[in-house]
């Protein structure tokens, strides 16, 4: 059985807003020529409206695995409006990161950008360095999870 996590599952690991600011500062170091650190780097694909789940899962990854997490929604070097430059930057960062994880909430599954990122991540990280973290709404049964069938080939176990 594939684990599907309920919203709030990682809340014991939630990072503070000040730590999120540090993550934003670390995002500045993701440029075309430099790596952010000697730690494992993760491109965390997500829907921008899922900030609470994002803060929980970043805290989990940092605490449990000591990784550096890149989130495009907090990258000050992203263009103000989405464009081809946005896609170029995302492609560059995905290539540079060691791992790719999709925080697969219903919002993310419905997002064209998250699905595009997953496709690009698949081409560059498949299969040992890519994962999906399925997140269902509170109180839902696993069979109510809105995940597209193709997502199951990447499930993080």
Q: Band of the pLDDT at 141, cuts 50, 70, 90?
A: confident
Which residue is it, tokens 């049964």? 141
- Domain extent listing, the chain: 5-154
Distances (CA, A) of 102 to 41, 57, 69, 75, 155: 14, 11, 12, 17, 9
Residue range 32-71, pLDDT digits in tens = 455 555 778 899 999 989 988 888 898 899 888 888 888 8
pLDDT at 117 over 90: yes
> What is the predicted pLDDT for the residue at 29?
59
Nearest to 43 by CA among 157, 137, 146, 132: 132
CATH of domain 5-154: 3.40.50.10140
């Amino acid at each position: 059985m594939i684990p599907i996590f309920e919203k709030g599952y990682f809340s014991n690991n939630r990072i503070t807003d000040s730590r999120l600011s540090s993550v934003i500062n670390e995002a500045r170091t993701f440029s075309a020529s430099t790596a952010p650190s000697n730690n494992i780097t993760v491109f965390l694909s997500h829907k921008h409206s899922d900030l609470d789940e994002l803060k929980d899962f970043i805290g989990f990854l940092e605490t449990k695995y000591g990784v550096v997490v890149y989130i495009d929604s907090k990258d000050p070097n992203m263009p103000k409006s989405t464009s081809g430059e946005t896609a170029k930057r995302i492609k560059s960062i995905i290539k540079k990161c060691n791992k790719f994880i999709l925080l697969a909430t219903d919002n993310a599954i419905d997002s064209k950008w998250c699905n595009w990122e997953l496709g690009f991540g698949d081409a560059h990280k498949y299969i040992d360095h890519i994962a999906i973290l399925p997140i269902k709404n509170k109180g839902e049964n696993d069979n109510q999870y809105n995940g597209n069938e193709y997502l199951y080939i990447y499930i993080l176990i």
